A and B are shown apart, each in its own frame.
Chain A
Amino acid sequence: MSFADAAPRLSPRARRRRILRRRFLRRPFAVIGLVVAVAFVLGAILAPVVAPYSAAATDFNSVLGHSSGKHLLGTDELGRDVFSRIVWGARASIEAGVFSVLIAMAFAVPVGVVAGYYRGWPDTVIARATDVLLAFPFLILAIGLSAILGPSLTNAMLALGFGVAPQLIRVARGEALALREEDYVRAAIANGAGDIRIMARHVIPNMIPTLIVQATVAIPAAIIGEAVLSFLGLGVQPPTPSWGVMLADAQSYLTQAPRLAIYPGVAIFLCSLSFNLLGDGLRDVLDPRTTR
């Protein structure tokens, strides 16, 4: 590898961004994932604009209606427009999905870094505790905590965060373990830098790409988790729409109108898949060994 002697036309940061952008664009699935995920997020944010009806608007004249000009996806058992509820429901899913992961990271990253950096007994305690939590399926943890905290969207977010955290702790710990051995960390120690400074300036910034990827992979899990919690009545409470709630409601009408279950189901599927594809693509693109 050689480098041009003359100053490049683009700043070094911009060049790297361009390379990463091109690599990303070469992966059709990742691009699809990005587009669909963004569509969901925008839909959630712009719900008042996108949804033709409010989530609670009932119309007892057209109960369980099929798709029509007035109702894109038909109506449910209370005459509410299914399409609008899907759109409004995206809010709960995206909110719960994204925020729970952010909460988890805020907690998991420092804990993981401390464990990986110091090793010794803090690591033993943290690692074992994390291992115990990892033995439980993520949903069990989330459901358990949610049941204790009580049903609400906020509590659902906390519970999902708690469910996602152990995996993030493990990742952060692994990265810290590896980064700690890097020569530039030893150089910083030789400089006389304190531990906090080293962790903040050298360890954490160098694990950001990995954390980004982990987040985009954790989000779909949280989205599905939210749906499950709402389905069980532990998350969002009616009449606030959520895809999980819609699924729960659709149970009674499964034979008459299976579409009431299919639409929210497909929404959950597409939304989490898109984040998944996006995460996979990002992981590939950010891997230093990738050449194309």
Chain B
Amino acid sequence: MSAVEATLEVVDLVKHFPVRGVGARQVVHAVDGVSFSIAPGELLGLVGESGSGKSTVANCVLRLLEPTSGSLKLKGREIAHLSRREMRPLRRELHMVFQDPYSSLDPRMSCGQIVAEPLAVQRLLPRREIDRKVDELFDQVGLRAELRHRYPHELSGGQRQRVGLARALSVSPTLLVADEPVSALDVSVQASILNLLRDLQEELGFSCLFITHDLATVEYLCDRVAVMYLGKIVELAATAELFAAPKHPYTQALLSAAAVPDPEVQRSRTRVVLEGDIPSPIDPPSGCRFRTRCPLEPRSAPASHETEPPLLDVGGGHHVACHLVAAGEAPTVADTAAAAS
């Protein structure tokens, strides 16, 4: 860790949800021991499929949920178990952009009011100044000033997402959490929002936790990437390195499964298709959680059935949680798995 204090430091974050059922008390292991940090001005991508726990991590970081255990340090200050009231002044440092541009804006408020709300709640600026700041924010996100009087349902998905961004940036947060901010948008609109995010980040210098299932977006935007599977991080590395040389079998499978928009390339790659479904987070597999779908499982047994692989630094800040990698091997899923028919 560098001498500069990390914007966000997460250590062993755990979040379990009780399942109300008959009989034995069951628990959803949404997040089961996740650790990472985000440096000032850094964009960290958090990638995973359903059940990976990435959205739960986001909600915990934003303290919309209280972690079951673990430490969350925002600029050095522990926030994991602060009360609502204690959190309130800290809300200036954190903000969020949501996935759904339709439900993230109150349909009964005008866009100007929506963007002004954090300022009003935090009482950062006097009334008169708020108006001016809202105009400034609209300009920053590329929206015409007169749209502040319109209502969300009159704007397109891309415009709504810009309003959401303006709202999040109104308090000049140190950390922006973006939970799938472009998944619900059209392709061409996605591009403009991604570019906007990149530009704003360069201009304003905030840190960003970017959550998505789309690997290509992560490669475009983020400095480092963490891959999650069933509540745990399986690989964490600098973006370029992760994409050039993924070490964890799941990461490899994920990269392989993502269809490339180029028929020459797409049809000539060896593709790995994982068998089976993603197991339920209520009853995750013992030991290595990926072992039920890992094509290399025969090689990693019995260790992979018994112990969870720890997230180890295998050099240059590249962390992998895999028994085979820890044993010094360099497993490649492509040679063992059946190539796509």
Contact = CB atoms under 8 A, between A and B. Distances in A.
B104 A183 contact: yes
A3 B96 contact: no
A202 B105 CA distance: 10
A2 B107 CA distance: 17
A192 B122 contact: yes
A14 interface: no
Interface in B138-194: 146, 150-151, 154-156, 164, 167, 171
Nearest to A4: B154
Contact of B64 (A7, A190, A194): A190
B103 A184 contact: yes
Nearest to A1: B156
Given A183-B98, A187-B98, A192 B121 contact: yes
Interface stretch (B7-15, B22-30, B84-92, B325-333): B84-92
A192 B118 contact: yes
Q: How large is the interface on A (under 10, 10 to 19, 20 to 34, 35 or more residues)?
A: 20 to 34
Contact of A205 (B62, B108, B155): B108
DSSP majority for the A interface? helix
Contact of A191 (B89, B108, B109, B121): B121
B94 interface: yes
B100 interface: yes
B95 interface: yes
B106 interface: yes
Contacts of A131: none
Nearest to B89: A192
Interface in A178-203: 182-184, 186-194, 197, 201-202
Interface in B94-133: 94-96, 98-100, 103-109, 114, 117-118, 121-122
B107 A206 contact: yes
A184 B108 CA distance: 11
A171 B113 CA distance: 28
Contacts of B62: 190
A182 B103 contact: yes
Interface string A156-194: 000000000000000000000000001110111111111
Contacts of B95: 190-191
B151 A12 contact: yes
B254 to A, nearest CB: 27
A189 B91 CA distance: 9
Contacts of A3: 154-156
A190 B96 contact: yes
B106 A190 contact: no
Interface string A5-17: 0010000100000
Nearest to B103: A183
Contacts of A7: 146
A182 B105 CA distance: 9
Nearest to B122: A192
B85 to A, nearest CB: 9
B98 A191 contact: no
A201 B116 CA distance: 14
Contacts of A184: 103-106, 114
Contacts of B96: 186-187, 190
Interface of A: 2-3, 7, 12, 182-184, 186-194, 197, 201-202, 205-206
The 10 closest A-B CB pairs, nearest first, are: A192-B91, A183-B104, A191-B118, A184-B106, A183-B103, A192-B88, A183-B98, A205-B108, A193-B121, A191-B121
30 contacts: A7-B146, A12-B151, A12-B154, A182-B103, A183-B98, A184-B114, A186-B96, A186-B98, A187-B98, A187-B104, A187-B105, A187-B164, A188-B106, A190-B91, A190-B95, A190-B96, A191-B95, A191-B117, A192-B87, A192-B89, A192-B92, A192-B118, A192-B121, A193-B117, A197-B121, A201-B106, A202-B108, A205-B108, A206-B107, A206-B108
